[in-house]
């Protein structure tokens, strides 16, 4: 697994004297490839576990999940403590519309997802939805957990 020795044949030397074999100067890439493949597998397994979110008790509904998109979705989170988070950064309510307008100018999609804790009053959710609309986002998706009660009485 290291450098090998290449034998040279040929004459031209004195009798009785031995020539030293020349060192092989080629790089063996097999161990390098092995290490890179192991690292790739480690990162592929660990990457999904690195996503950290804000803990929110989402209400449960009977709605199905939306299909995944190419661009990372923009999310607003309302916590039970009254915090407003834009993605994972806490944002003061008075700065929310200005930040949303700046983001809307940069993004091609005007879709945003609203995650609200079940303990947040509906008036607060409606207020934030108004701010999202004023900030330039017209497609607002409400994020819920699946498996909630249905209106037809069919349980979970």
Which positions ≥6 away from 38 have C-beta within 8 Å? Answer: none
pTM: 0.53
**Is 80 exceeded by the pLDDT of residue 152?**
no
Q: What is the pLDDT of residues 26-50, one digit of tens each?
A: 888 888 999 999 999 998 888 877 7
Among the ranges given (51-60, 78-87, 120-129), the one the predictor scored with the smallest mean pLDDT: 51-60
For the segment 5-16, the average pLDDT, to the nearest whole number, is 56
Kindly indicate whether the domain formed by 60-146 is annotated with CATH number 2.102.10.10. no
Provide the pLDDT for residue 37: 95
The structure tokens listed for 148 are: 């909630």
Q: Rounded CA gap, 33 and 37, in Å?
A: 6
Return mean pLDDT, the chain.
79
CA distances from 38 to 28, 34, 92 (A): 17, 6, 44
């Amino acid at each position: 697994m290291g450098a090998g020795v290449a034998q040279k044949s040929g004459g031209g030397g004195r009798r009785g004297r031995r020539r030293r074999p020349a060192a092989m100067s080629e790089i063996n890439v097999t161990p390098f490839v092995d290490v890179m493949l192991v690292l790739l597998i480690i990162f592929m397994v660990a990457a999904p576990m690195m996503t950290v979110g804000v803990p929110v008790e989402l209400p449960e509904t009977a709605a199905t999940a939306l299909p995944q998109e190419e661009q990372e979705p923009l999310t607003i989170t309302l916590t039970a403590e009254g915090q407003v988070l834009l993605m994972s950064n806490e944002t003061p309510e008075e700065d929310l519309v200005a930040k949303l307008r700046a983001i809307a100018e940069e993004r091609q999609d005007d879709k945003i997802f609203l995650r609200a804790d079940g303990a947040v009053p509906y008036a607060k959710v409606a207020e934030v939805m108004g701010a999202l609309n004023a900030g330039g986002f017209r497609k607002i998706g409400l994020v819920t957990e699946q498996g909630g009660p249905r209106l037809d009485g069919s349980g979970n």
